[in-house]
Amino acid sequence: MLNKSVILRSILDMEVVCAVRRDSSDQLLRIVEAIRRGGIQCIEIAMTTPLALQAIEEATGKLDGVVMGAGTVLDGTTARQAILAGASLIVTPTVELDVIEMAHRYGKVVISGAMTPTEILTAWEAGADMVKIFPASLLGPSYLKAIQGPLPQIPLVPTGGITADNASEFIQAGAAMVCVGGWLVDKKAVVEGRYEALTKRAHQLVEAVRKAREGMVS
């Protein structure tokens, strides 16, 4: 079993996490596999998805090299269940102190959701490894950049409305990584069984982030 520091470093190196939220548990593993083929190795399944724990356990057992996470975790009990199912990453939409505590207890990475500077700092001081800025689509890259001014020590993960077209803007604004959901897991493509469309979008996203990083270095 990898220790927490290795998992955290691995997640940061990946720079992209995919959030899968579905109304049904059908084809969850195929969705995860399609996203993985596109180059995204960190995938969280929202706990609002039916049989999410089962899907996490199945994916963890079958897909080597993929960091599986649980998203929309609202309490410590759910965090523990997800960890026992195999989740190495716990993600919350809001500041949930008991979730952060539970993740630490089991040596797992936790990304806490927040919006305001006070929430962001509260999550960080409570022990969040990264802080998810949500909803990024409303706040925009300029908000992320502004937060980096007084709080440069906190790794920020914009979430909500991220696509291959705007991911580079958030990276350039200082994001540690980006979290992408609805745009990547296209509902119509899944219904029609076109999983290659998910693979293509995953690849486009990875390339957009890579080019943004290269542009910042050059």
Task: Point out the residues that are catalytic.
Answer: 44, 132
Question: In this structure, what DSSP letter does residue 19 have?
Answer: E
Cβ contacts of residue 96 below 8 Å, gap of 6+?
A: 73, 74, 75, 76, 112
Taking the CA atoms of 10, 145, 171 and 134 in sequence, report the sign of the dihedral they define: positive
**For residues 130 and 92, is the Cβ–Cβ distance under 8 A?**
no
Q: Count CB atoms within 10 A of the CB of residue 61.
A: 10
Closest CA to 158 of 148, 96, 7, 149: 148
Residue 34 CA to residue 202 CA, distance in Å, equals 8
Q: Residues with Cβ < 8 Å from 188, sequence gap 6 or more?
A: none
Q: What is the C-alpha separation between 36 and 38, in angstroms, rounded?
A: 5
